[in-house]
């Protein structure tokens, strides 16, 4: 045994380094507890079972979209087209459904199952375009998905032409706005997708590759991984999750129209990042995203309960997001220091 190896063995891990390395998981959780306690104290109507149901329903669409986005951010990429793809997929599924006679859209009514399949193919195709732009041409994901955001919005505009559609296939109506023994289907779908995302990331080979590519892309390449394939796959996963979120969202809101999902871009990114998934890739996961979803959900819902200036709400959300970003970057630095 050589002299330099002896030294490394003596380095042991204490509690402090452990806590430092877990900062990104602990901080969002403390934020959630703090916010919940604050609103429970400030408003008697907040901490009720009914309201918990409200919060769950309110975060469901964001949750479905955030599953795919978590994959993307774990790879140290970004997808800005999620809300637009959700919108165009929701509009597409309505476009392929027979509308009431007063809806003035020249649409193509098809059987429900076909409409759903075509819509999913559409969002997958848009995701594939993102993937090809990122991996084959080499456009940074930030710019590529910015273009896709506009393209998807453009397709949406062409499909509805300023009109509003209301009907979607019955399966989508049920999943988006129905409930089973008191639990909204949309919450169940979101829970299943989050669970599925977690299982894929934690227990499959592909999930491991996502973490490794995000942790050190160069090393992943030197290990002989097909980095481009993995990056392409996460872009498609993100688009399909967005599409599902969009279809259920349309059913949930009861209408399909232009710019319906605009707020979901920021909300989804915020949920992933507030939860503690590293913007530099390789750290975090669906567990973090769930905590992030609850932080945002509690915040949005709680601010309604405490009778606050609704314009101030926007500012407060922005400040919370900024705080989360600071913690995110800081936690990364702490971890790097501990690892050295």
Partner 1 sequence: MPELRSPILELQGITKSFGGVEALRGVDFALYPGEIHGLVGENGAGKSTLMKIIAGVHTEFSGRFLIDGAETHFRSARDAHAAGIAMVHQELSVAPDLTVAENVFLGNQPTNALGLVQWRRMAREAGEQLARFGIDVDPMSRLGDLPIGLQQLIEIARVLFSGARIVILDEPTSALSPPEVERLFATLRRLREEGTSIVFISHFIEDILHVSDTVTVFRNGRKVAEAASSATTKGALIEAMIGRGGEALEHSYTDDLMLPQPSASQVVLKVDQLSLSRSLKDISFEARAGEVLGIYGFMGCGQQELSRILFGKLKPDAGTLAVEGKPKTFASTAAARRAGVALVPESRRDMLFHQEPVYKNISISILDRISALLLKPAQERDIAKRQVEQLQIRPPVVGLDLGMLSGGNQQKVALAKWLTYPPKLLVLCEPTRGMDVGAKNDVINIVRDLRAKGLAIIVLSTEPETVLSLADRILVLKRGAMVREFKNEPVSKDRLLEAA
Closest to partner 1 by CB, 35 or 213: 213
- Two tokens at 128? 């594939």
Is position 339 an interface residue for partner 1 (rule: CB under 8 A)?
Answer: yes
Helix or strand holding residue 183 (H, E): strand 183-184
Is position 212 an interface residue for partner 1 (rule: CB under 8 A)?
Answer: yes
Closest to partner 1 by CB, 55 or 212: 212
Output the smallest distance, CB 28 to partner 1, in A.
19
| CA-based max dimension of the chain | 83
Give Cα separations from 9 to 4, 75, 339 (angstroms).
9, 32, 14
Is position 336 an interface residue for partner 1 (rule: CB under 8 A)?
Answer: yes
Stretch that binds partner 1, among 126-134, 154-162, 200-208, 288-296 (CB under 8 A): 200-208
Is position 3 an interface residue for partner 1 (rule: CB under 8 A)?
Answer: yes
Cβ-contact 193, 203 below 8 angstroms: no
For partner 1, which residue of 180, 218, 307, 310 counts as binding (CB under 8 A)?
218
Is position 208 an interface residue for partner 1 (rule: CB under 8 A)?
Answer: yes
| Residue 206 φ then ψ, to 5° | -60, -40
For partner 1, which residue of 56, 73, 283, 286 counts as binding (CB under 8 A)?
283
For partner 1, which residue of 228, 305, 313, 317 counts as binding (CB under 8 A)?
228
Is position 182 an interface residue for partner 1 (rule: CB under 8 A)?
Answer: no
Closest to partner 1 by CB, 252 or 335: 335
Give Cα separations from 27 to 22, 320, 330, 333, 336 (angstroms).
9, 12, 11, 15, 17
Instruction: Please work out the total of residues on this chain that contact partner 1, with binding judged by CB under 8 A.
Output: 38
Listing DSSP states for 286-329 in one string gives HHHHHHHHHHHHHHHHHHHHTT--HHHHHHHHHHHHHHHHHHHH
Cβ-contact 150, 262 below 8 angstroms: no
DSSP state of 137: I
Is position 2 an interface residue for partner 1 (rule: CB under 8 A)?
Answer: yes
Residue 78: partners with Cβ closer than 8 Å, 6 or more residues away = 72, 141, 142, 145, 269
Output the smallest distance, CB 172 to partner 1, in A.
29
The number of residues in the chain equals 340
Is position 237 an interface residue for partner 1 (rule: CB under 8 A)?
Answer: no
Is position 310 an interface residue for partner 1 (rule: CB under 8 A)?
Answer: no
d(CA 65, CA 73): 13
d(CA 70, CA 291): 13
Give residue 123's region: left, alpha or beta (phi > 0; psi -120 to 50). Answer: alpha
Stretch that binds partner 1, among 50-58, 85-93, 205-213, 316-324 (CB under 8 A): 205-213
Stretch that binds partner 1, among 36-44, 71-79, 224-232, 315-323 (CB under 8 A): 224-232
Closest to partner 1 by CB, 71 or 211: 211
Output the smallest distance, CB 187 to partner 1, in A.
28
Is position 333 an interface residue for partner 1 (rule: CB under 8 A)?
Answer: no
Is position 215 an interface residue for partner 1 (rule: CB under 8 A)?
Answer: yes
d(CA 272, CA 283): 11
Residues near partner 1, by CB under 8 A:
1-9, 11, 13, 203-205, 207-209, 211-212, 215-216, 218-226, 228-229, 282-283, 335-336, 339-340
């Amino acid at each position: 045994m050589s002299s330099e190896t002896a030294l490394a063995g003596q380095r042991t891990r204490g509690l402090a380094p452990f806590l430092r390395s877990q900062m990104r998981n602990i901080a969002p959780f403390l934020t959630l507890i703090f916010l919940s306690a604050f609103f429970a104290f400030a408003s008697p109507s907040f901490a009720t079972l009914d309201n918990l149901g409200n919060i769950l329903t309110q975060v469901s669409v964001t949750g479905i979209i955030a599953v795919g986005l978590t994959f993307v951010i774990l790879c140290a990429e970004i997808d800005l087209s999620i809300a637009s793809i959700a919108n165009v997929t929701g509009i597409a599924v309505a476009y392929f459904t027979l509308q009431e006679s007063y809806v003035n859209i020249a649409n193509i009514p098809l059987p429900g199952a076909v409409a759903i399949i075509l819509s999913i193919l559409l969002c997958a195709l848009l995701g594939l375009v993102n993937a090809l732009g990122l991996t084959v041409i080499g456009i940074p994901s930030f710019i590529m998905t910015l273009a896709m955001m506009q393209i998807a919005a453009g397709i949406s505009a062409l499909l509805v032409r300023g009109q509003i559609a209301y009907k979607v296939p019955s399966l989508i109506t049920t999943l988006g706005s129905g409930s089973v023994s008191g639990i909204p289907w949309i919450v169940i779908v979101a829970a299943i997708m989050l669970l599925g995302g977690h299982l894929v990331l934690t227990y499959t080979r592909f999930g491991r590759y996502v973490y490794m590519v995000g942790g050190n892309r160069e090393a992943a390449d030197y290990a002989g991984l097909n980095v481009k394939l993995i990056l392409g796959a996460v872009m498609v996963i993100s688009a399909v999750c967005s599409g599902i979120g969009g279809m259920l969202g349309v059913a949930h809101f009861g209408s399909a129209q232009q710019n319906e999902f605009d707020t979901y871009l920021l909300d989804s990114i915020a949920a992933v990042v507030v939860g503690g998934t590293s913007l530099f890739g390789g750290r975090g996961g669906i567990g973090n995203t769930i905590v992030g979803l609850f932080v945002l959900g509690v915040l949005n819902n709680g601010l309604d309960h405490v009778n606050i200036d609704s314009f101030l709400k926007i500012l407060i959300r922005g400040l919370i997001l900024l705080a989360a970003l600071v913690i995110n970057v800081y936690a990364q630095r702490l971890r790097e220091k501990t690892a050295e």
